[in-house]
A and B are shown apart, each in its own frame.
Chain A
Amino acid sequence: MAEVSCRKVVKEYDGGVQAVKGIDLDIADHEFVVLVGPSGCGKSTTLRMIAGLEEITSGEIWIGGDVVNDVPPRDRDIAMVFQNYALYPHMSVFDNMAFGLKLRKFPKEEIKRRVDEAARILDIGMLLERKPRAVSGGQRQRVAMGRAIVRNPKVFLFDEPLSNLDAKLRVQMRTEIKKVHQTVKTTTVYVTHDQIEAMTLADRVVVMNHGIIEQVGSPAEVYHHPTSRFVAGFIGSPAMNFLPCHIEEAGGGGLSVRVNSAIQVAIPAERTARYMPFKGKEMVFGIRPEHLTQRKEEDRPGFEPLDLLVDVVEPMGMETMVHFFVDGAPICARLDPATNAEPEKMLGLTADMNQMHIMEKDTGKVIY
């Protein structure tokens, strides 16, 4: 078990392309950290640098209190699970799991004990004699995890391990991974582009974009208190709605968000001080789909009326997504399935302004 730290880590490829631009990250012992971001954001490169599969251009990586910049992967005491499983096709499941232990000259009885224990945890005991081609995708991924577990390494590294599985199996394996971490408690760094995986698995989520860390925080933090427009838009499905706006003075010393000549919504009084310095400036108004609800009679503080023309209605069973357009910008509301929304008709909504976000237009920084 060990902490992992990245200090000003840079990865520059031939031709001067920087995949990772000087990131700082501290991962505590036993922690489950998920690196999440779109393709090309540098999350896999960061993981591979921690693994020792990519050289670091500059900076330092620490594992368990030691700088490992020049330590080869085999001496870093890490285990990695790959997207395509990377099982040795000519070896049985048992041999795949035992390979690392055999190379490290563990006694046979110890190898058997560890493999049997990992197989028990992952429920693959009946597959040990089979070759990888004779087991299913989900089982292969379990074997790959078993190969990591038997080594009892300081750190587990997962590189998009569920991307090759179908949607149902992905959900099932997600739970398995969480269960395994709860059992073995090994420090884990997990890379995914799927923000739902990130939210469900992580103790802390690291949101990356263009080679930098946009935000580090608990799943609740990055969801409810994003620090940038990128994080606000990336975390959450459907994504947060964004509308260009101006902050205007409203009656009684309050402020309001002016989207266009027809749409103006009041900002809750307790946020007035926060947004006052931005009065009259071009900003971006952000609100999540679940914070737009169909208007009911009662009038609660901070809930502002909004009338929009419905574009598309998507019933999904437990909820209904209703899509609108405001000045060409798409807006989505997550409504109760009993909604009477119909395309091409106006719908009365309520915006929960207690949950709104205001961002700077140029920098995307969320104002707190």
Chain B
Amino acid sequence: MSTTTLDARASAKRRKTSLHSQRLWALWGSYAALAVFVVIFLVPPFYTVVTSLKSSAEISAQVGSPWMVNHPTLDNFWYLITYPNFQTYYLNSAMITAVTVVVSMTISVMAAFSLSRMGFWGSQTLSTGVFLTYLVPPSLLFIPLFQIVGMMGLINNLWCLALLYPTLAVPFCTWIMIGYFSSIPRELDEAALIDGASYIQILLKIFIPVAMPGIIAATIFAFTVAWGAFLYPLAYLYTSSQMVLTVGIISDLIRGDVFQWGKIMAACLLASLPPIVIYAFLMDYYVAGLTAGATKG
């Protein structure tokens, strides 16, 4: 009897030890893989920060380590902040992004609600169609879109972007929202219907508050699309007064074959500030929103 017990204990201990060492290896493996990712992802921003703090002379001097700043300066930042063109680009980007986010989210939320909840004929096919449009790359679209924008007389007009960006943001945002709305139990809208709510009241009073994580995730996506788009402004805008940040930085700070690296890097950092702030505050919602949309409930 006692021998059997001892054997069982020894076997349990062996199993535990083996499990413990397996977990240890798995943890070390995870840390190693994460370390590699951290290096890969953080080196470029680090180099951007380092370069933005250097004067043009220090950047072009071939002495010392390029990873170190010997004479840190905020001149590049000050130059940009007081540079009228940069202010215009920033303002233009902010305006276009705000309009894009509002337009895209209004369309997406209403489209997703009707596609996921109102159960009309063809809603399933339409849902798939919405997602398929997202798969068409902007580089294929910008030539036909040039024709359309030209016909509307909006070439070199900042507001053409407010028309174009939602074509990029709406399909994906709608897709996220369809996923999120589908995860909301159907009884909730049925209860609201019986309580006396109209469809628009169900959307405004029940779905939007309940689906806020999904809406925030979609909003962040629409913001990122509008703030970071490069191809369309490059193709359709050419004067400084109409330009946005992404193309403005390149066109203003690269003169001929002279790259003003310090100012370019400082401009990149300043341009990155809004997305960083938004992501930092809303990251939890963003992850929750994407996950809920993906698992459907």
Contact = CB atoms under 8 A, between A and B. Distances in A.
Given A88-B210, A90-B209, A74 B188 contact: no
Contact of B193 (A74, A84, A87, A90): A74
B206 interface: yes
Interface string A45-66: 0000001110000000000000
Given A88-B210, A89-B210, A99 B190 contact: no
B185 A80 contact: no
B210 A86 contact: no
Contacts of B190: 51, 53, 73, 80, 82, 86
A165 to B, nearest CB: 16
A103 B193 contact: no
B98 interface: no
How many interface residues does chain B have, given as a range?
10 to 19
B194 A74 contact: yes
A78 B191 CA distance: 11
A104 interface: yes
A72 B191 contact: no
B242 to A, nearest CB: 42
B137 interface: no
Interface in A6-60: 51-53
Nearest to B188: A86
Given A89-B210, A90-B209, A99 B192 contact: yes
Judged by DSSP, the binding face of B is helix
A82 B187 contact: yes
A147 interface: yes
A210 B85 CA distance: 75
Contacts, number: 57
Contacts of B210: 88-90
Contacts of B195: 74, 99-100, 103, 147, 151
A82 B197 contact: no
B196 interface: yes
Given A86-B185, A86-B190, A86-B191, A100 B196 contact: yes
Interface string B173-196: 000000000000101101111111
B201 interface: yes
B196 A88 contact: no
A61 to B, nearest CB: 15
A224 B165 CA distance: 72
Nearest to B190: A53
Contact of A103 (B185, B188, B196): B196
A74 B206 CA distance: 16
A292 interface: no
Contact of B185 (A73, A84, A147): A84
A151 B188 CA distance: 17
A82 B191 contact: yes
Nearest to A105: B196
A73 B187 CA distance: 13
B25 to A, nearest CB: 39
Q: Which of A84, A86, A100, A147 has the most C-beta atoms of chain B within 10 angstroms of its own C-beta?
A: A86
24 contacts: A52-B193, A52-B194, A53-B190, A53-B193, A53-B194, A72-B193, A73-B193, A74-B193, A74-B194, A80-B190, A80-B194, A82-B190, A83-B187, A86-B185, A86-B187, A87-B191, A88-B188, A88-B191, A88-B206, A88-B210, A89-B210, A99-B192, A100-B196, A103-B197
